């Protein structure tokens, strides 16, 4: 079991993970599918899709219900679009095993989330000789990476165990404090309780316990974001003191973060590394843009942040 929690920081390893080789093509960098909600509720998924594309996924497709197709089509260009009416339609779209990273939750709606999440988490039959091996982008069937955020978490408020039973090693949950308390009410209570004896139960303890219970990476958002894996690995990304980024407290910034993680998963990064790099870049984008930041600005700031990092 790991004991220390690392502090996430920009590093050579991060730069290397983000760099693209000149001999690659778009499918080398994976294909992300971001599921959208219905008409009037497509903004959050579009924010996530823009984040996934800017962070380097080779292709990004929005999966929209037919009624929202026109609304979404009129707002996108490099991002592609596919109709995903319901779980059966999603199963059909997922026949394309090049779609290697999915994002569900931003603006999805709780009822649509209940329908789509089980299908998104269904594990394709393993190739002979490769049982359960996570796939590299474009390298045939394997576990798909799945980011669950917002409504995909809230959908399981009454039965979190049902969700935990479906999660696997390529999943990442990205709750804010409200969503965390819906999925892990007992852990949230412990975190809230005053320390009466000994050291206080911290956000690091809480996130570790949540990741162990969920069986996948949990990224617990806030001014200090904690990322933990089921094996106890844990890191902290601070947006306080010299990295204070209060302008991140703006509608849709979490949706962009979900897209950043999905894009890095599509590129083949491991869930823990994808979550750590995404949250670090998220704060860097906010710091680089400065006051006046809104969610749309975050993906558009990435090229500048990449240049500063030397990617
Ligand atoms: N531009 C867009 O299209 C946006 C769409 N959004 C989507 O709108 C849907 C609903 O979002 P809501 O904001 O209503 O749902 P939330 O679950 O974020 O908020 C519902 C309630 O949860 C609590 N809560 C929220 N954030 C908290 C925090 N950090 N700590 C503690 N408690 C907290 C508050 O009591 C709040 O009233 C989601 O699908 C979301 O993705 C939002 O992300 C905002 C932007
Ligand atoms: N005061 C703050 N300082 C730094 N980061 C913050 C602050 N408040 C929120 N954030 C970050 O902004 C994002 C907000 O996400 P979320 O609560 O899901 O909002 P939304 O659903 O509107 O996208 C998270 O990444 C969180 O870590």
Classify residue 104: in a domain, yes or no.
yes
With a 6 A CB cut-off, is 106 part of the ligand 1 pocket? yes
CA 183 to chain centre: 17
Give Cα separations from 32 to 4, 45, 96, 130 (angstroms): 33, 12, 12, 23
In a domain, 74, yes or no: yes
**Mutational pocket test of ligand 1: of 38, 176, 254, the residue with most ligand atoms within 8 Å of the beta carbon:** 176
- For ligand 1, the distance from its centroid to the CA atom of residue 105, given in whole angstroms, is 11
Q: DSSP for the chain, please give it.
A: -----EEP---HHHHHHH---TT--GGGG-EEEEE--STT--HHHHHHHHHHHHTT-SEEEEEE-GGGHHHHHTT-SSSEEEE--SHHHHHHHTTSTTEEEEEE-TT--HHHHHHHHHHHHPPPPPPTT-TTPBPPTTSSSSBPEEEE-HHHHHTTSS-HHHHHHH--TTEEE---HHHHHHH-HHHHHHHHSPP-SSSPPPHHHHHHHHHHHHTSEEEE-SSEEEEE-TTS-EEEEE-SGGG--GGG-STTHHHHHHHHHHHHHHTT--HHHHHHHHHHHHHHHHHHH-TT--TTHHHHHHHHHHHHHT-
Q: Mutation test of ligand 2: which of 51, 152, 176, 297 has the most ligand atoms closer than 8 Å to its C-beta?
A: 176
205 to each of 1, 198, 200, how far by Cα in Å? 13, 14, 9
When the pLDDT of each residue in the chain is averaged and rounded to a whole number, the result is 93
Q: What is the ipTM of this complex?
A: 0.97
Question: DSSP readout, 10-47?
Answer: --HHHHHHH---TT--GGGG-EEEEE--STT--HHHHH
Determine whether 128 is exposed, middle or buried from the number of CB atoms within 10 Å of its CB (0-12, 13-18, 19+).
exposed
Q: Is residue 303 part of a domain?
A: yes
For residue 138, give both structure tokens.
Answer: 């474009």
pLDDT at 127 over 90: no
Q: Does 105 map to a domain? A: yes
> Ligand 2: residues whose CB is within 6 Å?
150, 176, 221-223, 225, 239, 245-246, 248-249, 251-255, 257, 282
Instruction: Render pLDDT for 58-97 as a digit per residue (tens, 0 to 9).
Output: 999 999 999 999 999 999 999 999 999 999 999 999 999 9
- Count: domains in the chain: 1
Query: Is 21 within the bounds of a domain?
Result: no
> Is 284's C-beta closer than 6 angstroms to any atom of ligand 1?
no
Q: In this predicted model, what pLDDT tens digit does every residue of 222-278 receive, in sequence order?
A: 999 999 999 999 999 999 999 999 999 999 999 999 999 999 999 999 999 999 999
Confidence of residue 27 (pLDDT cuts 50, 70, 90): confident
CA distance 85 to 37: 10
Strand partners, 31: 59, 99
| Short-list 205, 170, 210, CA closest to 191 | 205
Is the C-beta atom of 176 inside 6 A of ligand 1?
A: yes
At 129-176, the pLDDT tens digits run 544 444 444 444 578 999 999 999 999 999 999 999 999 999 999 999
How do residues 183-228 score in pLDDT, each as one tens digit?
999 999 999 998 888 788 999 999 999 999 999 999 999 999 999 9
Compute CA 136 distance to the chain's CA centroid, rounded to the nearest angstrom.
18
User: How high is the pLDDT of residue 229?
Assistant: 98
What percentage of the chain carries pLDDT values higher than 90? 85
Residue 1 falls within a domain, yes or no?
no
Structural domain of 206: 6-16+26-309
Per-residue confidence band for 128, with pLDDT thresholds at 50, 70 and 90: low
Whichever domain contains 200, its CATH number is: 3.40.1190.20
Tokens at residue 186, please? 């007992």
Of residues 23 and 51, more confidently modeled: 51
């Amino acid at each position: 079991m790991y004991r220390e929690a690392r502090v996430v920081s920009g590093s050579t390893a991060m730069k290397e993970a983000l760099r693209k080789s000149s001999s690659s093509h778009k499918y080398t960098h994976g294909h992300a599918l971001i599921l959208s909600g219905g008409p009037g509720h497509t903004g959050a998924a579009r924010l996530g899709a823009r984040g996934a594309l800017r962070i380097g996924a080779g292709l990004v497709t929005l999966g929209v219900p037919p009624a929202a197709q026109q609304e979404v089509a009129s707002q996108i260009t490099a991002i592609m679009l596919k109709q995903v009416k319901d779980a059966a339609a999603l199963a059909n779209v997922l026949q394309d095993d090049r779609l290697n990273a999915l994002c569900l939750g931003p603006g999805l709606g709780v009822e649509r989330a209940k329908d789509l999440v089980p299908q998104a988490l269904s594990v394709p039959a393993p190739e002979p000789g490769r049982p359960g091996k996570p796939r590299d982008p474009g390298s045939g069937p394997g576990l798909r990476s799945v980011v669950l955020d917002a409504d995909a978490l809230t959908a399981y408020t009454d039965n979190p165990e049902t969700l935990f039973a479906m999660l696997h090693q390529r999943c990442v949950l990205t709750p804010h404090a409200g969503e965390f308390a819906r999925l892990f009410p007992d852990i949230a209570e412990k975190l809230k309780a005053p320390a009466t004896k000994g050291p206080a139960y911290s956000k690091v303890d809480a996130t570790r316990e949540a990741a162990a219970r969920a069986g996948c990476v949990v990224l617990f958002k806030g001014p200090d974001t904690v990322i933990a894996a089921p094996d106890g690995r844990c890191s902290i990304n601070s947006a306080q003191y010299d990295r204070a980024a209060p302008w991140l407290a703006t509608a849709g910034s979490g949706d962009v973060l979900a897209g950043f993680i999905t894009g890095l998963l599509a590129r083949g990064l491991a869930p823990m590394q994808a979550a750590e790099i995404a949250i670090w870049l998220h704060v860097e984008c906010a710091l680089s843009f400065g006051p006046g930041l809104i969610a749309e600005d975050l993906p558009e700031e990435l090229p500048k942040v990449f240049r500063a990092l030397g990617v």
